[in-house]
Chain A
């Protein structure tokens, strides 16, 4: 490892030459920008993910995609950027880590070996979050590149996404602790150095490796990865998706839709529809009886397109009915779990009026998709 005997300013100026503590430019502009953009986007992603719920999923997606793009560009910069940005400069070999833990190495101007471990752990976590997040979005909501990959995979990915969320939270805590510890130990403000890019050189420093940024290569590589990646994801997203709800038949839309939203057949299992259609003369407290031939036609259509035929989230979570209230979507444990944080008054107020009025909040309810991106709870009318 090259260890210059004296700290050497990257760009010698008369001021620096005169200064008793020469400022050294350690972090380049892109590295600093990517660090703070990543910090911001991951912070918002964590807040919206843990506290925002499904109505804030749009924000979660925007900052999540931003974080992914930053990480992809940071990865290319790790091979094409200037010395302190290169992975080769701070590759945390076991020997370097042991030396650092034993206190045998001096001050690192760039990342020290433990800091380097953190860099890779955080970059890896964001990638894991992006992949598991995209798989969840596809599997659970039929949105995006993995829409064709099924509910089962999406459910597993959703669990993993949450675990990775807690993992990166722990890593961030450790990162902040490490920065604080190293700042106190080295009597310098490392967070400010990530803003200004400069550190004060000291005798015996490990200087970053001497490499110029390869701008053209970096731009080309970044562009290829981003454009190529986007095209690949678009191609994945265009695959045909199985298990989407069918369009409601005009008979069902007319008859059921006369009093309430024509609930998509995929919202309830066959057994529940049969129970409902057999009791239309006392249908949630009203007589909703139909001519016998109409009852038969609608029953058959509902059975053919019931939850068993769909792979959407409602089809899965509402298919476990409450036996005491068979046929009542809002009585299923799945519906209750999804709506537990909404107070009863919200359902009663205009323009919602009842729990059964799905499309007051879910704009795509009649199509049976129930995408979180089509979800917005109307604010109370003043």
Chain B
């Protein structure tokens, strides 16, 4: 762990305990930076955007056959609209073009749980979450 991260991580530990958990389902209760730091704290390492990109674009195994990759629905370009298998449009994942992304801790929990299970057949690790968020908020 880099020493320079320590004060921020400590601060976010307080945020996580006092703010995020009690208001888990409320929108606008968090930010990409806060989430990355939370997951980084859990993982014990900083989020890596390059690793996140590779993870997001990769074809995985172990999940459900119709959804082998994040890109199945979100497409290769997170700054563009995606499309669910049902035909429904999914708003861009990149927070630069869709500022509403990663501001609702309830949605983060729900969608990581669902989509990691669909694509990987397991929960994502805090490190994977930090990486993906680092990439999606850096675009």
**A interface list, Cβ under 8 A from B:** 259-261, 281-282, 284-291, 351-354, 356-357, 360
Contact = CB atoms under 8 A, between A and B. Distances in A.
Interface size class of B (residues with CB under 8 A): 10 to 19
Contacts of A286: 64, 66-67, 85, 114, 118
B84 interface: yes
A287 B88 contact: no
Given A289-B113, A289-B114, A290-B110, A353 B86 contact: yes
Given A281-B117, A289-B114, A356 B87 contact: yes
Interface of B: 64-67, 83-88, 110, 113-115, 117-118
B86 A259 contact: yes
Q: Mostly helix, strand, loop or mixed at chain A's interface?
A: loop
B83 A353 contact: yes
Contact of B86 (A289, A291, A351, A357): A357
Contact of B84 (A259, A287, A289, A352): A259
A289 B110 CA distance: 8
B113 A354 contact: no
Given A354-B85, A357-B88, A291 B110 contact: yes
Contact of A352 (B64, B87, B114, B115): B87
A287 B64 contact: yes
Contacts of B64: 282, 285-287
B87 A287 contact: no
Contact of A287 (B65, B83, B85, B114): B114
Contacts of A261: 86, 88
A359 to B, nearest CB: 10
B87 A351 contact: yes
A356 B85 CA distance: 10
Contacts of B113: 287, 289
B28 to A, nearest CB: 16
A349 to B, nearest CB: 10
A285 B67 contact: yes
Contacts of A285: 64-67, 85, 118
B47 to A, nearest CB: 24
Contacts of B110: 290-291
A262 B26 CA distance: 21
Contacts of B84: 259-260
17 contacts: A259-B84, A260-B86, A260-B87, A260-B88, A284-B85, A285-B65, A285-B67, A286-B66, A286-B118, A287-B115, A288-B114, A289-B114, A291-B110, A354-B87, A356-B86, A356-B87, A357-B86
